[in-house]
Amino acid sequence: MELKRVVVTGLGAVTPIGNDVPTFWDNLLKGVSGATRITYFDPTLYKSAIACEVKNFEVEKYFDRKEARKLDRFVHYAVAAAQEAIQDSGLYLEEEDKNRIGVVLGVGVGGVGYFQEAVAENTLNEADGPRYSPFFVPKMIADMSTGMISIRYGLAGPNYVCTAACASSTIALSDAFNLIRLGKANVMVTGGSEAAVTKAGMGGFAALHALSTRNDSPETASRPFSASRDGFVLGEGSGILILEELEHAKARGAKIYAELAGTGLTADAYHMTASHPEGIGAVRAMQEALDDAGLKPEDVDYINTHGTSTPVGDVSEVKAILTLFGEHAYKLSIDSTKSMTGHLLGAAGAIEAVATVLAVKNDVIPPTINHDPEDKDENIDYNLDFTFGKSKQRTVRAAITNNFGFGGHNASALFKKY
């Protein structure tokens, strides 16, 4: 069968550096860091006391007080970003067949904050028996994000959540893409959401030695591709993209940001938390995205890397890029927007897809911040263009965004100019 073409017609974002797409994009290009000392709780006794929190989020703009209390922060963020994306798309939902509009998001850990609070409260009150709220389960489960978006807008198409650690939302993007290509839907609301800046989230990732402990300088703690990197900075938020079948978008006169042309999904089959040191799964994921799009390595101008600022992950991804792209790797622009947003876990791929689409649309590459030219890792080839320090204007014909998750999950998505 002939596969349908898929384009991006709407974007939404709630991030540590902006609670809407224009602010997020402006701060990315300016190189603004979203990292601060944690404010949600007293982090004094935690190894890592810093995070990229969403700031000044006004939940009452999206929910009344009673409804907001029934939902975890990750659902608040998802609904807010979806509202912006749907409005941005110009879709007039009352004239659409809502049975052919679905919602597929990536969520890594879901309502971990509420889960932690409810269990702690009931442990303290064990002598009186369990007193869990009737909202304990719906407030905790990851798929409440897609459920609430579909309920709010009456979207009755495919509806579910993908959970694959830090690759979750890129895999969700791939699923949404294929549902449209196969004719199962006209429009998909896709992306991801996460709100794991909690005591349990910080404690758990710190125990894995995954987090930066640069507590005295939060804004410089996320430093991908630098020798002194010591782990990622945990972030939170949501990114949403409206994917649409091309002819459907053209028929309603929609603006088109870019075309989603291919995706690639692989597994390292190697280690519980570490990426393969040679990046073999990442190579295959990027190659699959290229093959899916019918493009060659030399057609790509930009890679938004997973680039978490971890010692092993950054090196393996650079090796993967050099293996696949060869000499063309030195003509690519490469960056890590996590240097500014931190690592949003299951939502990382969502906000990075938004950034990648905007790079393709606007021909500009956001920077990788916090790199000192003297701070060089002998295992990284600095002849590559990591877009250190400031954004860069250049033509972006096609771009790949990468995300890799605990468990060995690899996901790549390729966007190209429409």
Active site residues: 166, 306, 343
Q: How many CB atoms lie within 10 A of CB 331?
A: 12
Give the containing element (helix H, strand E) for 315: helix 311-325
Q: How many beta carbons lie within 10 A of that of residue 179, not counting itself? A: 23
- Residue 350 · residue 239 · CB < 8 Å: yes
From the list 285, 278, 291, 276, the residue with the least C-alpha distance to 303 is 285
Cβ-based neighbours of 69, under 8 Å, separated by 6 or more: none
DSSP 48: -
Q: Is 323 helix (H, G, I), strand (E, B) or coil?
A: helix
Question: Which region holds residue 279: left if phi is over 0, alpha if psi is between -120 and 50, else beta?
Answer: left
CB 346 within 8 Å of CB 108: yes
The type of residue at 139 is K
Read off φ and ψ for residue 371, nearest 5 degrees.
-105, 130
Query: Which tokens is 173 given?
Result: 């993007």
Taking the CB of residue 39, how many other CB atoms lie within 10 A of it? 11
φ, ψ dihedrals at 307, nearest 5°: 35, 65
The CA distance from 6 to 187, in Å, is 9
Coil, helix or strand for 294? Answer: coil
Residue 305 to residue 122: CA distance in whole angstroms = 42
Q: How far apart are CA 302 and CA 79, in angstroms?
A: 30
Strand bridging mode 409-416 / 258-267:
antiparallel
Contact 154, 398 (CB under 8 A): no
The Cβ of residue 74 has, within 10 Å, a number of other Cβ atoms equal to 31
